[in-house]
Structure 1
Amino acid sequence: MIGSGREEKKDNDLFFTCSLIDYIARKTQNTRSDVVNKLGKERLEKIYDLADIYHCDNIDRVSDDFIEEADITPGTFDNVGECKYSIPSHWDIGKVYKRLIKQAAQSEKIGIIDALIKVYNSFISDKIDDYNSSVYYENPSYIFECYIENKML
């Protein structure tokens, strides 16, 4: 089913879901895997299923609601503050994760949310979230191959 844009509607929903995860992680200073694990599969499915509604609302309010609901407490991971270079936006990082998760789901023949949980809990998530490295702006195919091989190539 094609949406009104160039991508399938669910691709845009995955993009929003990943961007929201990054937004929450920055706001609470937690790793992306910690945020994903605190949100849990059920909430992640809800965010993904209702992304077209959530994206119409203020992202601060939406993130606050999920931070409170999932009891996400402040952490000490500050990849934005530690960045020495231009900081990618939560939308930029959402796009990187969206592409990787789609490829992982397709390759591993698993659902999108299962792939999301798996990707965010893999070694590549730490590499993408190191904004002092070049991984987050590498070619999506390269990032996927590193994910598959479970190491940087």
Structure 2
Amino acid sequence: MKNVFFPDEEITQDDVFYVCSLIERIARHLKQPNRYVVNCMGKRGIAEKLSLANVMHSENQQAVVERLIQEYRMQAGSFDVTNVNPDLVSHIPGEQDMGKVYMRLILSTLYSWEDYADAILRIYNDKICRTIDNYNGSAYYEPSYYLTRCYYSGTFN
């Protein structure tokens, strides 16, 4: 995928990782599912953030989150992904941990005809995210190849 602002530059896997981590950070801050954030941003917004990732990563991340919430008029919700059963979960994965999980899933399922922004929208809107984002289970700890297989089969069974 080409950078939308600098067409001579390519979007990298690191840029995808940054944007996936940013999506997670915003979603947790707002108490919204990740799909809410990506749908508010839309393809153009995601493509722009991918194109600016190499600069945005050095900014104050809380300020970036606040700026994007305002830019895309996102609203707070009540979906708290970190609200887990302490008898089942001793460690909640961090925003970057989940950014890696989603980056790997996006890269491993990327179709030849789509760009990273399309793939981000496709993955975050898939039902597999409900299972991955349920930290009372262990789906987010599964190896990337297993998550890819589950995505293509449509189930974790």
Q: TM-score, normalised by structure 1?
A: 0.90
Equivalent residue number for residue 3 of structure 1: none
Aligned mates of 2:35, 2:138 — CA distance in 1: 20
TM-align CA RMSD: 1.5
Residue 21 of structure 2 contacts residue 100 of structure 2 at CA under 8 Å; is this kept in 1? yes
Structure 1 residue 35: Cα displacement = 0.9
State the one-letter code of the partner of 1:58. Answer: N
The gaps in structure 2 that reach 5 residues or longer are: 1-9
Aligned mates of 1:76, 1:120 — CA distance in 2: 18
Aligned mates of 1:143, 1:98 — CA distance in 2: 12
The gaps in structure 1 that reach 5 residues or longer are: 1-7
Asked whether 1:112 is paired with 2:116, we answer: yes
Equivalent residue number for residue 62 of structure 2: 60
Give 1 or 2: higher helix fraction: 1
Structure 1 residue 91: Cα displacement = 0.2
Runs of 4+ in 1 over 6 A off after TM superposition: none
Asked whether 1:42 is paired with 2:57, we answer: no
Percent identity between the two aligned chains: 35
State the one-letter code of the partner of 1:112. Answer: Y
Structure 2 residue matching 1:50: 3-state secondary structure: helix
State the one-letter code of the partner of 1:60. Answer: Q
Q: TM-score, normalised by structure 2?
A: 0.88
Equivalent residue number for residue 138 of structure 2: 134
Count of matched residue pairs? 145
Aligned mates of 2:96, 2:12 — CA distance in 1: 16
Structure 2 residue matching 1:92: 3-state secondary structure: helix
